[in-house]
Amino acid sequence: MTADAFIHLPDLRARVTHPEKSLLRLTPEMFSMWEQRARAAGWPVNWRLSDEEIEASRLAVLGDHPDGCDLWIFSYGSLMWDPGFHFAEVRLADVKNYQRRFTLKINLGRGSHDYPALMLSLEPQQGRCHGLAFRIAADAVHTETAILWRREMIRGGYAPAMVPMTTPQGPITALAFVSNPTHPSYVGELPLVKTAAIIASGKGVLGTNREYLVQLATQLEALGIEDPYVEQLHAQIGAGPAV
């Protein structure tokens, strides 16, 4: 990250994990470690997409990205506090006709077979989703997005797309990991009470689903972003220490 990456949001500097300290910076070496942990836990060989499938997915979206052009990444969940990639700038951003929703049921990461979890997706819905946009410098686009793709598309749960959005500094088009209703993990928007119950009990090797929701609510509040859906879920599970 450059010295002025937080020029628009100086207070955010202390609330974002440096990429080199992130366990979710999935370099080939880090990815290999997670692969070994998954296999040791009994996951089959095909628990994730192959390296070739992940890279083909990335190139299908970014293969024509012009040389010399930076790339914006829209973040609405854990990327807001732990992006795992190097960036040159971060801004507040919002995208029209999308909302963050817990619509992916998972049994790895912050979930497990016995205690499944729900993870966020970006759902086409009326309104706006407010989050952050990180700018990756042109010379680092393919290196950093390869790292990001291993994290976000490890099982193909999203439909990455370039989406127009607004920022206080002007309009941009950013890569967003949009929902993929055809994926087996997709369960759609569940009733709020059921969503909260799953989040309250979900846990896995990365921690609890509850911790994730608390981190999300905390980061949104610190950024001055109001999200009634997240606020209601946070209230449902209570604001005490994560379990």
Catalytic residue among 152, 189, 226, 231: 152
In the annotation, is 52 catalytic?
no
Cβ contact 193:236 at 8 Å = yes
Rounded to whole angstroms, how far apart are CA atoms 17 and 59?
27
Beta-sheet strands, E only, within 76-224? 89-106, 117-136, 158-165, 172-179, 203-204, 207-208
> Residue 31, Cα to own-chain centre: how many angstroms?
17
Q: Which residue is it, tokens 């449902």?
A: 236
The sign one gets for the Cα dihedral 120, 122, 126, 131 is positive
Cβ contact 81:17 at 8 Å = yes
Task: Give, for 189, the enclosing helix (H) or strand (E).
Answer: none
Beta-carbon-side half-sphere exposure of residue 178 (alpha carbons within 13 Å): 17
DSSP SS3 for 78: helix
The Cβ of residue 18 has, within 10 Å, a number of other Cβ atoms equal to 13
The Cβ of residue 126 has, within 10 Å, a number of other Cβ atoms equal to 8
Return the active site residues: 152
